[in-house]
Amino acid sequence: MTTETTRPELDLLSFPFPHDDMLQPPCPYARLRREDPVTQVRLPSGDLAWLIPRYDHARTAFADKRFVRIGEDAARLTEDGGFDDTMNARPAQLSDHERWRKIVSKAFTPRYVETLRPRMQKIVDGLLDAMQEQGPPADLVEAYHFPLPMEVICELLGVPNTDQDRFRGWARDSVALTGRSPEDIARLNADMEGFFKELVERKRHEDGDDLLTQLVHLHDADAGKLTEAELLVTAHGLFIAGYETTGNALGKGMFALFRNPEQLAALRADRSLLHSAVEEMLRYAPLDSGYGIPRQTLVDVPLGDTVIPRGATVIVPHFAANRDPEQFADPDVFRVGRRPNAHLTLGHGRYFCIGAPLARVEMQIAVGSLLDRFPGLRLAVPPEEIRAHQNLITEGPVSLPVEW
């Protein structure tokens, strides 16, 4: 087996890899899966990390308790943070991840998500009404993909829609990779923490039916109640994951449909494909922008023919795992009827996304209702004119102009 100390640093690949198409993984992944599936890379900060592009290794990193969320001593993606910024600082506050998941899962169930379906449908219908009244062309990103999850997250947190502009700014700043000083990050964290502390305290004296109020009052017989720190982590996680990632998932997923017109036609002709189409959107066009999900090892971990040392930062790239031919037949083909489809975009095992049921229902309603309302929906510009956001951990189109 090889170890960290046997790899000459001069031979290390620079990561992230060049990535100029938001629907296609960077080229080195296919070679690395075959030839060097557990390899060290150098990050823009100069720090070193381990990259694991194979599907089976990625599943292990999500499910195995020897892999945990990154801590303060983890590798930095960029000089001013990246991996250890606002996206990860709050989850790192969880003293007992398993206990937290157990309590939150009591409230955030698929059954609870189903009770939200009528409200989500009402929000969708209102947004589509506004698009129809305005007439084509319309920008799906601005008019639909991000307003929808913002309205839904306001429902979950039980906050008024008047906070939406502030939320949008916080969300975009939270996933920026560069251009923020330590003072900027500290100010952002303080602003969000102050807001969510006040929100949680208000929920203690309310009897609402929103998810955050339920979590404030929920007492698990075995795990007890969520601490204030855990409630803040939960509110922050719902906010970022429920807004930024869902908006980009819709944008990239619809762009994949537009780039594969025969698959769009198949979905239009057979709406029973909607569920598998959403899963294929998530597999084919995962949410990160090529940077992957960071984990850290608690002990030395043998993986394949390599031992990853204790305390190392490990990067799990969705794009690579979801295109592994050992798991998916014709992985680079977008197929709305693909079954089975055990993609890793929403995690796996102990790190399976708690909000996955919400994301799936939200995307199913959004995509199905959009195609129902506008049967002739199409891109208003050539596909090569669609650009992805730059400098963000998450990825999606800047705009998606459509007509019908």
User: Domain range for residue 253?
Assistant: 4-403
Whether residue 375 is preceded by a cis peptide bond, meaning omega within 30 degrees of 0, is no
Among 137-146, 181-190, 301-310, the range scoring the smallest mean pLDDT is 181-190
Residue located via tokens 């996680």: 237
- What pLDDT does 91 receive? 47
Give the Cβ contact number of residue 403 at 10 Å: 14
What are the DSSP calls for 218-232, one per residue?
--BTTTB---HHHHH
Cβ atoms of residues 48 and 40 within 8 Å:
yes
Question: Residue 65: is its pLDDT beyond 60?
Answer: yes
Question: Residue 290: is its pLDDT beyond 80?
Answer: no
For 278-312, b where at least 16 C-beta lie within 10 A, e where not — what string?
bbbbbbbbbbbbbbbbbbbbeeebebbebbbeeeb
User: Which stretches does DSSP call E strand in 183-330?
Assistant: 293-297, 301-303, 306-308, 313-316
pLDDT grade, residue 84 (50/70/90)?
A: very low
Residue located via tokens 């129902």: 372
Average pLDDT, the chain: 88
Q: What is the mean pLDDT of residues 304-319?
A: 96
Q: Which residues contact 226 (CB under 8 A, 6 or more apart)?
A: 100, 103, 104, 215, 216, 218, 234
- What pLDDT does 235 receive? 87
CATH number at residue 107: 1.10.630.10
> What is the total count of domains within the chain?
1
pLDDT grade, residue 389 (50/70/90)?
A: confident
- What pLDDT does 71 receive? 85
pLDDT digit string, tens, across residues 31-60: 999 999 999 999 999 999 999 999 999 999
The pTM (predicted TM-score) of the whole model is: 0.90
Alpha-carbon distances of 22 from 93, 343, 348, rounded to whole Å:
32, 17, 23
Question: Residue 229: is its pLDDT beyond 70?
Answer: yes
Q: What is the mean pLDDT of residues 129-146?
A: 97
- What pLDDT does 89 receive? 44
